[in-house]
């Protein structure tokens, strides 16, 4: 799998509304360095984007970056692009970047500036199996384990979702051999769950909140279609979350996600040790 880079000197701004509804922007810039970096404030340091910077925001259920008093919200939707092989990227902008409920708008903004490198992507692998399960009565966990052959440069993703009145769906994804399926999932908006979110979205939209269409609401298609779309969005969320394993290397191994989410994805990374695969 070859790396992608932004054309030399590229600076791309994406404008939109943050998850609260306020106008904002995010900027992507090219760098000759390997990996993804966050500049938390103007003229600030370039920080490699890894799990040590990441936090989970329980109120709205997303991963954000934190450095001192600076923060950067809904990182998982932006970071999904990491697994296209894109490297040499600096991200900066408002603490609350534009929110579209999916990665597609960021990807479409960057695609015209991409060039394929002659270099192969770099990989890392976990030293041992690790798992983080939700405490209490909630069923769910994320597990990371090495490939049976340590230098097998691929990622096997096994995801199960199970929602009341929607049902259970378990499917597998193999990276990079099925990369087009992953990029196609960039089109899918976030899960419209639990049910109170629909009522809240209707109410807020009356006051100008712009994101009511940035969700896959279960009443808008069959339960089978809803489950498939929600599984695809979970795939992009998971891949965005595990990008935090290393700022400049893709993860080789196996990930199992059973009724899981951002918190487990982040916490399992904190338990793991990763080493270069080459």
pTM: 0.96
User: Is residue 48 domain-shared with residue 172, that is, in the same domain?
Assistant: no
Sequence-distant (6+) residues with CB within 8 A of 256 are 141, 142, 143, 145, 158, 159
Q: Please tell me whether the peptide bond between 194 and the residue prior to it is cis, using omega within 30 degrees of 0.
A: yes
User: Is residue 109 domain-shared with residue 192, that is, in the same domain?
Assistant: no
The last residue of one of the domains, among 94, 120, 146, is 120
Q: In three state form, how does the secondary structure of 105-164 look?
A: HHHHHHHHHEEEEEEECCEEEECCCEEEECCCCCCCEEEEECCCCCCCCCEEEEEEEEEC
pLDDT digits (tens, 9 = 90+) for 4-42: 999 999 999 999 999 999 999 999 999 999 999 999 999
* Amino acid 159: pLDDT: 98
User: Is residue 128 domain-shared with residue 145, that is, in the same domain?
Assistant: yes
User: Is residue 115 domain-shared with residue 129, that is, in the same domain?
Assistant: no
Domain count, the chain: 2
The last residue of one of the domains, among 92, 120, 148, is 120
The last residue of one of the domains, among 98, 120, 142, is 120
User: Is residue 101 domain-shared with residue 204, that is, in the same domain?
Assistant: no
User: Is residue 247 domain-shared with residue 226, that is, in the same domain?
Assistant: yes
- CATH value at residue 208: 3.30.1700.10
* Amino acid 151: pLDDT: 86
First vs last C-alpha separation in the chain: 14
Mean pLDDT of all residues in 183-202: 94
> For residue 138, what pLDDT band results from cuts at 50, 70 and 90?
confident
Question: Looking at the predicted structure, is the pLDDT value of residue 258 above 80?
Answer: yes
Sequence-distant (6+) residues with CB within 8 A of 164 are none
User: Is residue 106 domain-shared with residue 158, that is, in the same domain?
Assistant: no
User: Is residue 186 domain-shared with residue 100, that is, in the same domain?
Assistant: no
User: Is residue 172 domain-shared with residue 267, that is, in the same domain?
Assistant: yes
Question: Looking at the predicted structure, is the pLDDT value of residue 137 above 90?
Answer: no
The torsion angles phi and psi of 195, rounded to 5 degrees, stand at: -60, -30
Sequence-distant (6+) residues with CB within 8 A of 222 are none
> For residue 278, what pLDDT band results from cuts at 50, 70 and 90?
confident
* Amino acid 57: pLDDT: 95
User: Is residue 116 domain-shared with residue 136, that is, in the same domain?
Assistant: no
Query: Where in the sequence is the domain holding 262, given as residue range(s)?
Result: 123-276
Please answer whether residues 83 and 89 qualify as being in contact, where contact means their C-beta atoms are separated by less than 8 angstroms.
Answer: no
* Alpha-helix runs per DSSP H in the chain: 75-79, 104-110, 179-184, 196-205, 223-242, 262-271
User: Is residue 251 domain-shared with residue 215, that is, in the same domain?
Assistant: yes
- CATH value at residue 96: 3.30.230.20
User: Is residue 185 domain-shared with residue 262, that is, in the same domain?
Assistant: yes
Of 138 and 211, more confident = 211
């Amino acid at each position: 799998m070859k790396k992608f880079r932004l054309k030399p000197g590229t600076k791309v701004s994406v404008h939109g509304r943050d998850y609260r509804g306020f106008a904002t922007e995010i900027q992507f810039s090219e760098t000759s360095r390997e990996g993804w970096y966050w500049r938390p404030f103007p003229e600030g340091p370039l920080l490699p984007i890894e799990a040590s910077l990441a936090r989970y925001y329980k109120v709205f259920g997303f991963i954000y970056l934190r450095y001192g008093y600076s923060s950067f919200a809904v990182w998982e939707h932006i970071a999904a692009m990491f697994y296209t092989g894109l490297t040499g990227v600096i991200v900066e902008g408002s603490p609350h970047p534009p929110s579209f409920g999916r990665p597609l708008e960021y990807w479409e903004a960057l695609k015209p500036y991409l060039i394929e490198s002659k270099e192969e992507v770099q990989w890392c692998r976990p030293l041992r199996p690790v798992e983080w399960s939700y405490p209490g009565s909630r069923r769910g966990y994320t597990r990371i384990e090495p490939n049976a052959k340590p230098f097998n440069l691929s990622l096997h993703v096994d995801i199960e979702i199970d929602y009341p009145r929607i049902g259970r769906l378990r499917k597998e994804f193999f990276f990079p051999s099925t990369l087009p399926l992953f990029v196609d999932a960039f089109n899918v908006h976030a899960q419209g769950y639990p049910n109170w979110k629909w009522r809240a979205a209707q109410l807020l939209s009356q006051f100008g909140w712009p994101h009511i269409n940035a969700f896959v609401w279960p009443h808008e298609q069959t339960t089978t279609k809803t489950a498939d779309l929600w599984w695809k969005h979970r795939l992009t969320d998971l891949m965005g979350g595990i990008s935090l394993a290393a700022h400049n290397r893709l993860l080789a191994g196996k990930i199992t996600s059973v009724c899981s989410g951002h918190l487990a994805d982040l916490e399992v990374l904190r338990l793991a040790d990763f080493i270069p695969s080459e």
